């Protein structure tokens, strides 16, 4: 048993729902007890879909167990086919139905339904959401693809590609697709099929007609792409075009496979990230320590952008999906950090606190961890909440995606000029500790010492501490840790350091003092530590 409050991924049948909901003309008959319909609201609320997911739940109850659950399944399947007239159905069990062993696949087959029924084996007690989506998509492709299809010779016709991977409830899948289509247009590549998003079962039959595949989201499409590689000899583009560099590589790869000239696509002038990043206001971004966590694909892409396109230092890199851990390990090695492969959010929180980053890039969970720790943060990966299914166009992929990423990541940071002013005027009351960092203004003022207790903003100017009961000290000395003790003079000096770097200065100094075996931190220790950590 694993103790969990928060999970990065849902169960595998939610992955299957993401595929079914993405498609048209496909219905999912899910053997599941009452209550599993909760997953519908992920689609209707978080993604704000205007239609119910195409899922029929059998809704078995305790009194059905051991007698007619199989019959219940068959009735539900028959009724769903009659009512929704799908071109194909997928059938499977949720975690509870997996235990009662009704075999939805066998039951559906025995019914002689007028449409193909694709059985899904989704082991709920060992696998998770992304795996479920990948497996479902693979089974759909394997069952519905017309294997007799042969591609006409390439001469005299444009190249054709499948775009594989976008689903329902995918982080920015809708807009990524727009950007990738733009690139393909520019290269003169025809889109044979986009799947699962928007595809119909009968479209899947023609999947073999493409010359190659574009694996947009490996977590979902890689399994199917590998089968297509074997079955139809379709090579796959596996570079994920997130970031300017990756987009350029992607264009080059696609152009190569399509026999097209990449120049028009590469010459796209809509890419502003390179200039924004070179403009002098961005100089302060140099070496900013960034902690990155998410699904492997987005985390790896983010690490490359951070290092090579924004000049950050990656101080932590991890992912929650073990299936792609190998790729992430390689990237972590390139960043010179230990990879963090875990689905335990407490482990992620510990790692973030230990790395002391200046920016966190992660999922909804890291957003909250960062809020707790008083750190700036931007969201780069699912799971995400409703605000990350925005109304406006906000891709992550392609050149426009790079623009979006620049803005999204830099906004939570104090801008260069703003940071300079804050340092100059730090004695002014607007910039006193209790005012909190301006970029976190939407949240409550930073509580003393980063504790989670809500605090009312204290009277701002505390240059001359009043006698009597002092207000809560902004940075309580960590007396309980048994570490070195700060002298009053050093403590006062520490307070002269701008608040947004003070936490790091304190940690560095304490680490330095501990390493040196000093029991007290005085002015000298403070400045020696500063010299020690100077970059």
Partner 1 sequence: MSALDLLEGCAAPVAPTAADPARAVLRERGQREVFCGLTGIIWLHRKMQDAFFLVVGSRTCAHLLQSAAGVMIFAEPRFATAILEERDLAGMADAQDELDRVVARLLARRPDIRTLFLVGSCPSEVIKLDLAKAAERLGARYLPEVRILNYSGSGIETTFTQGEDACLAALVPDMPALAPDAPAELLIVGALPDIVEDQFLRVFAAMGIERVRVLPARSARDLPAVGPGTRFLLAQPFLGATAMALEARGAQRIAALFPFGAEGTADWLRAAARAFGIAPEVAERVIAPGAERARRALARLRPELEGKRITFLPDSQLEVPLARFLQDELGMELVEVGTPYLHRAHLAPELARLAPGVRLAEGQHVERQLDRVRADRPDITVCGLGLANPLEAEGLTTKWAIELVFSPIHGFDQAADLAELFARPLRRHALLEV
Q: What is the DSSP string of 193-239?
A: EEESTT--HHHHGGGGGSSEEEES-HHHHHHHHHHHHHHH---EE--
State the helix-helix crossing angle for 499-516 and 523-533, rounded to 10 degrees. 100
385-421 burial, b at 16+ Cβ within 10 Å, e below that, comes to eeebbeeeebbbbbbbbbbbbbeebbebbbbbeebee
Residue in 146, 261, 281, 428 annotated catalytic: 281
Q: Measured from the CB of residue 228, what is the shortest distance to partner 1 in angstroms?
A: 30
- Of 66 and 469, nearer to partner 1 (C-beta) is 66
Should residue 523 be labelled a site residue for partner 1 when binding is judged by CB under 8 A? no
Question: Which residues, 88 to 147, sit near partner 1 by CB under 8 A?
Answer: 94-96, 99-100, 123-126, 128
**Angle made by CA atoms 233, 234, 237, in degrees to the nearest 5:** 140
E strand or H helix at 99:
helix 95-100
Among the residue ranges 54-62, 303-311, 430-438, 482-490, the one whose residues contact partner 1 (CB under 8 A)? 54-62
Q: Measured from the CB of residue 85, what is the shortest distance to partner 1 in angstroms?
A: 13
Q: Measured from the CB of residue 138, what is the shortest distance to partner 1 in angstroms?
A: 21
- Give the separation between CA 161 and CA 211, rounded to whole angstroms: 6
What residues form DSSP beta bridges with 119?
91
Length of the chain measured in residues: 535
**Residue 268 contacts by C-beta under 8 Å, 6 or more apart in sequence?**
186, 399
Q: What is the DSSP string of 289-328?
A: EEEEEESHHHHHHHHHIIIIIS--EEEEEEES-GGGHHHH
Question: Which residues, 157 to 176, sit near partner 1 by CB under 8 A?
Answer: none
Q: Measured from the CB of residue 313, what is the shortest distance to partner 1 in angstroms?
A: 28
Total residues in contact with partner 1, by rule CB under 8 A: 57
Q: Is 281 a catalytic residue?
A: yes
Q: Is the peptide bond before 262 cis (omega within 30 degrees of 0)?
A: no
Question: Which residues, 396 to 415, sit near partner 1 by CB under 8 A?
Answer: none
> Of residues 272, 289, 322, 368, which one binds partner 1 by CB under 8 A?
368
> Strands (DSSP E) along 430-506, which ranges?
485-486
Q: Measured from the CB of residue 323, what is the shortest distance to partner 1 in angstroms?
A: 16
Question: Which residues, 249 to 308, sit near partner 1 by CB under 8 A?
Answer: none
**Residue 56 contacts by C-beta under 8 Å, 6 or more apart in sequence?**
27, 28, 29, 30, 76, 77, 79, 80, 84
> Of residues 24, 25, 59, 191, which one binds partner 1 by CB under 8 A?
59
Among the residue ranges 74-82, 207-215, 355-363, 481-489, the one whose residues contact partner 1 (CB under 8 A)? 74-82
Should residue 62 be labelled a site residue for partner 1 when binding is judged by CB under 8 A? yes
Q: Measured from the CB of residue 111, what is the shortest distance to partner 1 in angstroms?
A: 13
Binding mask 2-41 for partner 1 (x = CB under 8 A): xxxxxx-xxx-xx------------------xxxxxxxxx
Residues involved in catalysis:
281
Binding stretches for partner 1 (CB under 8 A): 1-7, 9-11, 13-14, 33-42, 44-45, 48-52, 56-62, 65, 68, 71-72, 75-76, 79, 83, 94-96, 99-100, 123-126, 128, 365, 368, 372
């Amino acid at each position: 048993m694993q103790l969990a409050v928060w999970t990065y991924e849902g169960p595998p049948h939610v992955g299957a729902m993401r595929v079914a909901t993405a498609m048209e003309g496909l219905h999912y008959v899910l053997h599941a007890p009452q209550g599993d319909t909760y997953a519908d609201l992920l689609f209707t609320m978080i993604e704000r879909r205007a239609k119910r997911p195409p899922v029929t739940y059998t809704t078995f109850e305790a009194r059905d167990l051991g007698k007619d659950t199989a019959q219940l399944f068959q009735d539900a399947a028959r009724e769903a086919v009659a009512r929704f007239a799908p071109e194909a159905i997928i059938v499977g069990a949720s975690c509870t139905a997996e235990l009662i062993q009704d075999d939805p696949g066998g039951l559906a087959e025995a019914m002689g339904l007028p449409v193909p029924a694709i059985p899904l084996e989704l082991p709920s007690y060992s696998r998770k959401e992304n795996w479920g989506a990948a497996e479902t998509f693979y089974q759909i492709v394997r069952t519905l693809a017309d294997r007799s299809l042969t591609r006409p010779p390439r001469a005299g016709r444009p190249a054709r590609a499948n775009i594989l991977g976008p689903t329902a409830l995918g982080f920015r899948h809708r807009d990524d697709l727009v950007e990738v289509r733009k690139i393909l247009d520019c290269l003169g590549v025809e889109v044979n099929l986009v799947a699962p998003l928007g595809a119909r079962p009968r479209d899947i039959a023609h999947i073999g007609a493409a010359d190659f595949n574009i694996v947009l989201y490996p977590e979902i499409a890689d399994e199917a792409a590998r089968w297509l590689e074997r079955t139809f000899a379709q090579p796959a583009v596996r570079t994920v075009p997130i970031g300017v560099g990756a987009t350029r590589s992607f264009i080059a790869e696609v152009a190569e496979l399509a026999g097209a000239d990449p120049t028009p696509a590469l010459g796209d002038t809509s890419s502003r990230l390179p200039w924004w990043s070179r403009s002098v206001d961005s100089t302060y971004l140099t070496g900013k320590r960034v902690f990155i966590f998410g699904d492997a694909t987005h985390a790896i892409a983010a690490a490359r952008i951070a290092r090579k396109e924004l000049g950050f230092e990656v101080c932590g890199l991890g992912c929650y999906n073990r299936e792609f851990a190998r790729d992430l390990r390689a990237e972590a090695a390139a960043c010179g950090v230990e990879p963090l492969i875990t689905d335990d959010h407490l482990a992620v929180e510990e790692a973030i606190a230990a790395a002391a980053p200046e920016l966190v890039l992660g999922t909804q969970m890291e957003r909250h961890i960062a809020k707790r720790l008083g750190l700036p943060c931007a969201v780069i990966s699912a799971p995400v909440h409703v605000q990350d299914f925005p109304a406006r166009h906000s891709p992550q992929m392609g050149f426009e995606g790079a623009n979006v990423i620049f803005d999204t990541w830099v906004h939570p940071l104090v801008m260069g000029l703003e940071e300079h002013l804050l340092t100059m005027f730090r004695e002014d009351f607007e910039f006193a500790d209790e005012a909190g960092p301006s970029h976190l203004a939407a949240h409550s003022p930073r509580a003393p010492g980063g504790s989670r207790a809500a605090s009312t903003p204290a009277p701002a100017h505390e240059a001359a501490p009043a006698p009597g009961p002092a207000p809560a000290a902004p940075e309580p000395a960590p007396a309980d840790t048994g570490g070195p003790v700060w002298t009053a003079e050093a403590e006062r000096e520490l307070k002269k350091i701008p608040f947004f770097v003070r936490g790091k200065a304190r940690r560095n100094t304490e680490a330095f003092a501990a390493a040196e075996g000093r029991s007290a931190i005085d002015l000298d220790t403070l400045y020696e530590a500063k010299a020690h950590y100077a970059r």
